[in-house]
With several copies, the nearest count.
Chain A
Amino acid sequence: MIDPSNFDMRVKFGHKYFDSPVFTASGCAGSGKELSQFFSLTELGAVVTKSIALKPRSGRPTPRMAETPSGMLNSIGLQGPGIDQFLEDDIPWLVANQARIIVSISGETVDDYASLARRLRVVPGLSGIEVNISCPNVENRGLVFACDPVASRDVIEAVRRNIGGELPIIAKLSPDVTDIVEIAGEVISAGADGLALINTLLGMVIDIDKQRPKLAGKTGGLSGPAIRPVAVRAIYQVHSKFKNVPILGMGGVTSGKDALEMIFAGASAVSVGTANFGNPTAAIKVKREIRELLMERGFNSISEAVGVAHNE
């Protein structure tokens, strides 16, 4: 076995290299600051920030969460301070603390995404943009962008045009579609450098005492280990078709084993989301275990391991 320090953990999205294949998932790591009391953010491949909109958003009323078997529902409704304050408060802190930053953006119209990209283009210290297209498109009856191949393409094209060639674009897809490979194809041809797979599944819990949906927002996003088989399947299907497009895998990653499933299925890196809630140091554990497990299996780098489950 090689010396652990020689194991190559680097991964690449677009033109950017990241020193670790473990990222935090958008919306599951606050502004980064909160986790930094448990470990140094420089341990992460990158902090993916909570999806930010142009304007401040109050988010949805509470209850915003419900625990489910091996998972949870959330309905935060993209609460956030809006891009201005975000750039004023959160980014400088992350930069000062030497964290690698991927900014997740969300919009209600294609123009929103374009404006956000223009704002971010000039911000120093960023390593990428994750485009959360699991948002309702107000110009099309609230139909979620990610559920519509044309809308998905339009958003990514708009971001590509406005962000310039520097920052890698990672398009984050929803599993709630008939054909995720089709959507992946659209966003790739629209200029995405990588894909984030998967966002949450739409779910609902009924409070049997109140006889109403448990969440104030009625439906919510299902995350956690319960959805991991769906994530692994999505990663496998998309990697099958688009071998050269790096995938940021997510959905129920809590351990190195889970991460390995995704890497072998075709992910170049993984994001840790819900697992942070149960274990503030989950990302660090996942990173350590990935290295151990891959070394035990004779790999010398992450990149060697990506997609091996597709070999005949």
Chain B
Amino acid sequence: MTSINKKAQQRSVEIISNKKVGAYHHMVFAVGDMATFAKPGNFVAISVGGSNSSMILRRAFAIYRSSDRGQYGGTIELVVAPHGQGSKWLTGLNIHDHVDMVGPLGVNFGIPTEPVNALLVGGGYGSAPLFGLAEVLKERGCRVDMILGASVAGKIYAPLEGKRSVNSLTITTEDGSTGNKGKVTDVMPELIKKHNSEIIYSCGPMPMLAAVDNLAEQFGLMHQCAVEESMACGIGVCMTCVLPVKDDNGVIKMTRSCIDGPVMDGSRVVWNSNRQIPEGTWGAS
């Protein structure tokens, strides 16, 4: 269903827009034909800090949207939270600055062959890849309902044009500053029932994905989630980004989220194994 993107390129790309939106920066890059191969769920990896940087690792960002033609040729859009040194450097750049980008990387979201009712669940900037996904699902005739959650209103990323591509949008914040007070999983059961959801797509912090997967299991629904683990390389060569995932035979293996993910079948992931190798994992001592 899902497959790894083998069309990764490395290139110097130009920033053509950088706008603050709530707690995030919406950034647009002119990427040439890198855009052609980008699918919802893919990500890019960007060098940060400039040529004298003490930060030697790339930062990964989910592709929010990509477009292969337009005023600037192919473009890729990202939603970046200015969090630590690397992302602050990136969001501090100006139009016409260049960055070194590798992409598109990773496994994209699988699209059902038949029209189905899809529920998309995003946390924080995790909403980013869901809007592009929503568009594709709509094109395939799916019903698309979306839930976005965050701690506070400013951390909900839900641009107008994005809202148009969904049938319904429900927002939750932990402090109630906008939408429903609470977590995405508080409203999920009701929405699943109301919209007769058949598949769940999710992207966001790992604890949220775990909770979403728990509900998906309860309702017996397919669940594709885009996980986020610390990545040193993003291209499958370092083995830092692993998480325990069951293979086709049910064997738990430490699986790379950059190349065998980030999109994974939620039911295969062994959640909450934080800082431990789950018992029975292949090769565990």
Contacts and interface: CB of A to CB of B under 8 A. Distances in A.
Q: Establish whether A and B are touching in the complex (CB under 8 Å).
A: yes
Interface of A: 27-30, 34-35, 37-38, 50, 55-65, 67, 69-72, 74, 76, 79-82, 216, 224-225, 274-281
B193 interface: no
Per CB-CB distance, the 9 closest pairs between chain A and chain B, nearest first, are A56-B283, A34-B236, A277-B233, A30-B237, A65-B240, A58-B283, A58-B284, A216-B275, A57-B283
Q: Which applies to chain B's interface (DSSP): helix, strand, loop or mixed?
A: loop
A65 B238 CA distance: 10
A38 B6 CA distance: 10
Given A64-B239, A216-B275, 4 more contacts: A34-B235, A70-B54, A74-B240, A277-B57
B56 A277 contact: yes
Contact of B238 (A61, A74, A82, A281): A74
Among A56, A65, A81, A224, residue most surrounded by chain B Cβ atoms (within 10 Å): A65
A59 B254 contact: yes
A58 B57 contact: no
Contacts of A56: 282-283
A66 to B, nearest CB: 8
Contacts of A276: 233, 237
Contacts of B232: 65, 67, 72, 74, 277
A49 B259 CA distance: 18
A120 to B, nearest CB: 20
- Interface footprint category on B: 35 or more
Contact of A59 (B6, B10, B235, B283): B283
B229 interface: yes
B285 interface: yes
B273 A61 contact: yes
Contact of B56 (A35, A82, A224): A224
Among B55, B234, B273, residue most surrounded by chain A Cβ atoms (within 10 Å): B55
Contact of A58 (B236, B237, B254, B259): B254
Contacts of A274: 56
Contacts of B35: none
B221 interface: no
A30 B275 contact: no
Contacts of A74: 232, 238, 240
Contacts of B56: 67, 70-72, 224-225, 274-275, 277-278
